[in-house]
Amino acid sequence: MNFFPGEWNNDHDYMGRIFSYAIQHNIGLGGPDVVPYRKGQMKNNYPFFHHYKGRINTIGMAVQKPDYLYINPMTGAHYTMEEFLSFAKNYLGATILFWNVQEPFFSKQLMPAIENGKNY
């Protein structure tokens, strides 16, 4: 679940109806682009994942290639693996997180964490 053409901030209730249907029928949902508090997602899919976390069967999200390039406005630096993970789990309720193998993030942050036994 990402965006519906012609809808902004659930003004046609497309997103709301999909989430309600998923809960009623025990269907998992997912979406691309874990970018903490990004305006486009905060006005579309993120509030629904947040509102329904714990009630949706499975939530799968992805950290994709362009996401590694965004700057965290709180730190002035690129988002870290921990920031992506925290937002995905704690705000969105993600139970599955797909990581793109973008370098140097993959080799410098993700692989060392996995090698040290962290479950990402």
Q: Does residue 5 sit within a domain? A: no
Q: Does residue 23 sit within a domain? A: yes
Q: How far is CA 84 from CA 25, 35, 47, 109, in A?
A: 29, 7, 16, 12
Cα–Cα distance between 84 and 108 in angstroms, integer? 15
How many structural domains is the chain composed of? 1
Q: Does residue 6 sit within a domain? A: no
Q: Does residue 43 sit within a domain? A: yes
Amino acid identity for residue 74 in this structure: M
Q: Does residue 7 sit within a domain? A: no
pLDDT tens digits, 34-44: 999 888 888 88
> Which residue range is the domain that position 106 belongs to?
14-115
At residue 1, the pLDDT reads 83
> 111 falls in which pLDDT band (50, 70, 90)?
confident
At residue 118, the pLDDT reads 67
Single pTM value for the model: 0.85
Q: Does residue 108 sit within a domain? A: yes
